[in-house]
Each structure stands twice: as C-alpha cells, then as structure tokens.
C-alpha cells in the first residue's frame, strides 16, 4: 500500500489547491459555453418549435442516472467557432450497453458541421471502432458549414466511410433523425444499420426543392422529397417512423436492447476505494511545473486500495512503473517522477511495456515530462537509441493505452509517454497540463541563438532590442499554445477533467475498452539496445 507523505496542512498544499481550484473555475466557465450551444435566442427558437435540445435528447436516450462520459467538450476552443463545435459526443449506457453517442446541436448555426465538428465526429467513430462500441447518431444538421467547405468537403467523406466500416466490423450503427439531414448528411442515415425518423420533422434528401428545381426543373416539396412518412412507406430508408422525439428515443433504446450485445473483453474484479480521498488530488501538482512531484501521491488517490506493486523501484527512478487495479481492472502504470527521461528510464519503460503485453494488461501513462535528457554525456551514452526503444515499444504495444497529462508534456517525452500521435484509446488532461515541443523560454532562447548566429554569418550587427521583443512575443505565444483549453480545442485530447474525477473517468474508459476482445499479441520492431 502506498503511504502518502503529502502534508495536507502545509502552505505548499494549500497554494497548489487554490491554483487548481482557480483553473477548475475557468474550466467550468468554458464547459458552460459548450452547454449554452448557440445561445439564448436560438435555444428559445428551438424550444418554441417543440424540440428537445441535443443534451436533453441524450439524457432521455441513456439509462436513468447512468454516467455519461462527455468527449471533446471544448472542441473549437480558441477558433472562430463556438466552443463545443455544435455537437455533443460521449459514451453513455443504453439498456445496459455502453455506446458512443453523438448529437448535432441545431442551435449552433443550424447544426452545420465546421472543421472542428468534423474532427470531433471522426474521433467519436474512431472510439466506437477501436473499442467495439455501438454507435448512435442523433441527427439534425444543416450539413457542411458552407463558408468552410474547403476544409471539410473532401476529408468529410471519412464520416460515411467510417460508418460502413463500423458496420463491416460488426459494430452496430444507429441513426435517429430529428430534423434536417440533407445533401452529404443524408448518407448518415444512408450508411447506418438502423434508421429512425421523426414524423413531420425529419428531412432527408440529397437535394432540397430549390436544388431539384435548378437541376431538373421538377417542382417538389420537402415532404415528398425526404419526409419521414415518405421514407418509411415509399423509399424504405427509414426502418421506424417515430410519432415524436420521445418516441424516436424510445425506439432507439429498443433497437439497442435487441442487439443482444455482449462485451468481449475481461470482467473486473470487485473494486476497492483508494485509502486516501480524491479531494487531495487538487493539492499535488505545483503551479511551477519545474518543481517535481511524486506520482505515487496521485496513484494513492486513484488506484484500488491505494495498492501499487512497484516494478524496478531502484532503477531509473525518474520513471515509476508498476501494477495496480482501477475499479477492479488490472493496469500497468508508467508515471514520470522527476520530469526528465534518461537512458535507464527508457530501458525500464521498454521492458515494462513488453511485460504488460505478455500478460495482456492495459497500460496507464501519467505524464509529467520535460523530455529526454540532452547533453554530451547523454548523447554519447545512447539516449537517442534508448528513447527510440521506448517509442518503439509504445508504438507497437497492442494492449489498450490510457493517457493522463497531469503536468508537463514536452518534446519527445510526449511521444514516449503515449501522447496523441501514439493513439492511446483515451487521453485526458488535467487543468495543470502543458504541452509543447519545448518550454516557451527555451524555445524563444533557441530562436535567439539561431538568429544571432545567422546575423554573424552575414556580417550584420544583431538588433538586441528587436531580439528582446521577439523573445517576449514568442514566449507569450508558445505559452498560450501549450495550455490545455487550446490543445483540447484542437482535439489533441479527449477532454480536460477535474483531477478528482480521474478514477471515475479511468474506470469508465477501462470498461469501454473491454467491450472489445483482447487485442492480438504485439510484434515489436527492431530494438537498438
């Protein structure tokens, strides 16, 4: 059992907790923006039409009082588009079956898909496919956001490709159509296994009446071109005709029940609560990420019974590795302790990842790293080879990976510790996370040294004043770009979470991951020892 050494009475703890709470208040405000959708005017209009909001639809679809793990809630943060990207996505439980659910938010520009909506939608389908989770789309969308069509039209074809690939992989796809689903959008019901349409509301056609008039001269109306009745009785695109929105959601639940879905992964053992309160997770990460913290303090508040069987504790101490359980599921943990990764840590990580693959145990990466060690001694000691071994192991490991960015995630440390490009099944950030190619001051300093050398080579005098201004500007820019809201806005994670929710979120992820069967054994590439 981990014995905590956290001084919860001390000033350090209080300061860290206050800083984290301030960041969580900001996070709440950003989440509220996503929940507000298109704002009061459009919400009123939508309700005035007798329609349910996207989140209300989800709430009525999932089992009462069951958890909903929302994903990419801050999508589009920092862009010209509203936070949330006009879509709600997440994992919810319908009739006892965990499903990936997406819902267009018609109060945001008619539910039209902008470049961030597209990324969010593709991520949802990817999660459904890799974890073998039935995929339910609640459709009401103006299709492509027309002014940004160049960003979405061509890559957007993947939405329909993914739907049919999910079906081919035996993962059910279900479309509940509440409103507009025109043009490309018509292929969402078109490619789905099951289609429900709401009477007098669903409109599904390749071209609306004006386009048809332009193309062929034919006079038509919405209902005869793409109404729910027509699709249920004439074209056969709708499998079920719902009387209203509540009826569509009821039918959706019935469809999921009839799937007779069985999870194919492992079942958890009985879970035990950690011996230390989750509340104390707020006071662990220092404001200044240069100050190290012990990730065992985090594990003590996340894993079952606070029990952690540490592997190789005396070797490569900058990286903590070991075995634990979360909500009864076994995990292998790799957690950064002092930030920098040396050759020993890389070799230890490689061996540990191989061991987890031998025993088919999912891996949890807890990131707080400034990257691999640089300098003559380390280069001569083979830090590139050893870091490459670790990256090889992470890349080719086939057990499910989950990543939490607790603090720093800089340089190739982001790669070795299973950052986004290494396709962990799920990746969440804490509000204290920061990620970039290197720290802002270091990056600005490197640019300055390079600029100075270039001026010298050309025989020019270096402008020190301009250099200072450049450094300040670059530092501010890199700092802003390394913050979690910005990175979450670009879908470089699946969401920013309250540290206190870490155990719950990981438990939901481990349960979702085990909807899929145990993956094939890994075949690693050539290791350079």
Q: Does 144 bind ligand COA (CB under 6 A)?
A: yes
Query: Which C-beta is closer to ligand COA: that of 48 or that of 529?
Result: 48
Q: What are phi and psi of 331, to 5 degrees?
A: -140, 150
Rounded to a whole number of angstroms, the minimum distance from the CB of residue 148 to ligand COA is: 8
- The secondary structure element, H or E, covering residue 391 is helix 383-396
Q: What is the DSSP letter of 87?
A: E
Rounded to a whole number of angstroms, the minimum distance from the CB of residue 117 to ligand COA is: 11
With CB under 6 A as the rule, give the number of residues binding ligand COA: 13
Among 4, 102, 173, 180, binds ligand COA (CB under 6 A): 180
Quick one: which segment of 139-147, 466-474, 503-511, 512-520 binds ligand COA (CB under 6 A)? 139-147
HEC string of 419-453 equals CHHHCCCEEEECCCCEEECCCHHHHHHHHHHHHHH
Rounded to a whole number of angstroms, the minimum distance from the CB of residue 180 to ligand COA is: 4
Closest CB to ligand COA: residue number: 143
Distances (CA, A) of 383 to 210, 311, 344, 391, 397: 64, 22, 9, 12, 21
Angle at 50 between CA 49 and CA 53, to 5 degrees: 95
Rounded to a whole number of angstroms, the minimum distance from the CB of residue 208 to ligand COA is: 6
Q: What's the CA gap between 495 and 73, in Å, rounded? A: 6
- Pair 303, 329: CB distance under 8 Å: no
Q: What is the DSSP letter of 137?
A: E
Rounded to a whole number of angstroms, the minimum distance from the CB of residue 37 to ligand COA is: 12
Q: Does 146 bind ligand COA (CB under 6 A)?
A: yes
Quick one: which segment of 93-101, 109-117, 343-351, 483-491 binds ligand COA (CB under 6 A)? 109-117
- Pair 189, 173: CB distance under 8 Å: no
Q: Does 184 bind ligand COA (CB under 6 A)?
A: yes
**Which residue is it, tokens 């729910």?**
228
Kind of pairing, strands 173-181 and 194-198?
parallel
Query: Which C-beta is closer to ligand COA: that of 146 or that of 421?
Result: 146
**CB under 8 Å, gap of 24 or more: what pairs does 150-156 form?**
151/114, 151/115, 151/118, 152/113, 152/114, 152/115, 152/118, 153/184, 155/118, 156/113, 156/118, 156/184
Quick one: which segment of 10-18, 141-149, 194-202, 506-514 binds ligand COA (CB under 6 A)? 141-149
Q: Does 112 bind ligand COA (CB under 6 A)?
A: yes
Give, as ranges, the residues between 438 and 477 that touch ligand COA (CB under 6 A).
Answer: none
Rounded to a whole number of angstroms, the minimum distance from the CB of residue 80 to ligand COA is: 12
- Pair 89, 136: CB distance under 8 Å: no
Query: Which C-beta is closer to ligand COA: that of 244 or that of 307?
Result: 244
- Pair 401, 424: CB distance under 8 Å: yes
Quick one: which segment of 108-116, 270-278, 403-411, 496-504 binds ligand COA (CB under 6 A)? 108-116
Rounded to a whole number of angstroms, the minimum distance from the CB of residue 81 to ligand COA is: 11
Q: Does 139 bind ligand COA (CB under 6 A)?
A: no
Q: Does 37 bind ligand COA (CB under 6 A)?
A: no
Angle at 341 between CA 335 and CA 346, to 5 degrees: 85
- Pair 69, 79: CB distance under 8 Å: no
- Pair 293, 161: CB distance under 8 Å: no
Q: What is the CA radius of gyration of the chain?
A: 25
Q: What's the CA gap between 427 and 505, in Å, rounded? A: 10
Query: Which C-beta is closer to ligand COA: that of 184 or that of 265?
Result: 184
Quick one: which segment of 121-129, 182-190, 341-349, 379-387 binds ligand COA (CB under 6 A)? 182-190
Q: Does 110 bind ligand COA (CB under 6 A)?
A: yes
Q: Does 142 bind ligand COA (CB under 6 A)?
A: yes
**Which residue is it, tokens 């001694």?**
377
Distances (CA, A) of 206 to 10, 190, 197, 341, 366: 65, 10, 16, 54, 47
Quick one: which segment of 5-13, 107-115, 379-387, 405-413 binds ligand COA (CB under 6 A)? 107-115
Helices marked H in 36-148: 40-48, 54-61, 115-131
Give, as ranges, the residues between 190 and 209 that touch ligand COA (CB under 6 A).
Answer: 208
Residue 111 Rama label (left phi>0; alpha psi -120 to 50; beta): left
Rounded to a whole number of angstroms, the minimum distance from the CB of residue 175 to ligand COA is: 17
Rounded to a whole number of angstroms, the minimum distance from the CB of residue 339 to ligand COA is: 45
Quick one: which segment of 9-17, 179-187, 216-224, 289-297 binds ligand COA (CB under 6 A)? 179-187
Rounded to a whole number of angstroms, the minimum distance from the CB of residue 30 to ligand COA is: 22
Quick one: which segment of 104-112, 167-175, 235-243, 417-425 binds ligand COA (CB under 6 A)? 104-112
With H, G, I as helix, E, B as strand and everything else as coil, classify residue 29: helix
Query: Which C-beta is closer to ligand COA: that of 202 or that of 510?
Result: 202
Among 182, 343, 414, 432, binds ligand COA (CB under 6 A): 182
**Which residues sit at the interface with ligand COA, rule CB under 6 A?**
109-110, 112, 142-146, 180, 182-184, 208
């Amino acid at each position: 059992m981990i014995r905590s050494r956290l001084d919860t009475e001390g000033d350090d703890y209080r300061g860290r907790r206050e800083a984290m709470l301030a960041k969580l208040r900001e996070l709440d405000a950003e989440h509220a923006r996503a929940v507000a959708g298109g704002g009061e005017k459009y919400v009123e209009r939508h309700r005035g039409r007798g329609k349910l909001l996207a989140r209300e639809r989800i709430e009525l679809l999932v089992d009462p009082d069951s958890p909903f793990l929302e994903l990419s809630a801050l999508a589009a943060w920092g862009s010209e588009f509203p936070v949330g990207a006009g879509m709600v996505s997440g994992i919810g439980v319908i009739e006892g079956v965990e499903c990936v659910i997406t819902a267009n938010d018609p109060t945001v520009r008619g539910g039209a898909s902008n470049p961030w909506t597209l990324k969010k939608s593709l991520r949802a389908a990817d999660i459904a496919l890799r974890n073998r989770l039935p995929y339910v789309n609640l459709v009401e969308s103006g299709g492509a956001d027309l002014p940004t069509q160049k960003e979405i039209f061509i890559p957007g074809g993947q939405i329909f490709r993914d739907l049919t690939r999910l079906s081919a992989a035996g993962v059910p796809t279900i479309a509940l159509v509440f409103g507009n689903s025109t043009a490309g959008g018509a292929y969402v019901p078109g490619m789905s296994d099951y289609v429900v349409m709401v009477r007098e509301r669903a409109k599904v056609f390749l071209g609306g009446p004006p386009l048809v008039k332009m193309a062929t001269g034919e006079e038509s109306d919405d209902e005869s071109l793409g109404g729910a009745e027509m699709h249920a009785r004439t074209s056969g695109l709708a499998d079920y005709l719902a009387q209203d929105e509540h009826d569509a959601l009821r039918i959706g639940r019935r469809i999921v029940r009839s799937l007779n879905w069985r999870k194919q992964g492992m079942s958890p053992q009985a879970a035990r609560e950690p011996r230390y309160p989750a509340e104390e997770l707020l006071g662990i990460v220092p404001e200044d990420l240069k100050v190290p913290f012990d990730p065992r303090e985090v594990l003590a508040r996340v894993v079952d019974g606070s029990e952690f069987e540490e592997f190789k504790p005396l070797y490569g101490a900058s990286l903590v590795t070991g075995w634990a359980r979360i909500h009864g599921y076994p995990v292998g943990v790799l957690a950064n302790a002092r930030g920098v990764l040396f050759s020993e840590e890389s070799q230890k990580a490689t061996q540990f990842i191989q061991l987890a693959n031998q025993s088919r145990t999912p891996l949890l990466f807890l990131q707080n790293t400034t990257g691999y060690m640089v300098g003559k001694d380390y280069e001569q000691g083979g830090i590139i080879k050893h870091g490459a071994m670790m990256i090889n192991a992470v890349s080719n490991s086939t057990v499910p990976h989950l990543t939490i960015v607790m603090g720093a995630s800089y340089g190739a440390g982001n790669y070795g510790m299973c950052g986004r490009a290494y396709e962990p099944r799920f990746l969440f950030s804490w509000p204290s996370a920061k990620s970039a190619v290197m720290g802002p001051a270091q990056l600005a300093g490197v640019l300055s040294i390079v600029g100075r050398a270039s001026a010298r080579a050309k025989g020019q005098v270096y402008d020190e004043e301009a250099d200072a201004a450049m450094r300040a500007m670059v530092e501010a820019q890199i700092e802003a770009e390394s913050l979690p809201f910005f990175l979450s806005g670009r879908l470089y994670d699946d969401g920013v979470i309250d540290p206190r929710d870490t155990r719950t979120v990981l438990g939901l992820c481990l349960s979702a991951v085990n909807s899929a069967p145990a993956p094939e054994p890994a075949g690693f590439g050539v290791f350079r020892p």
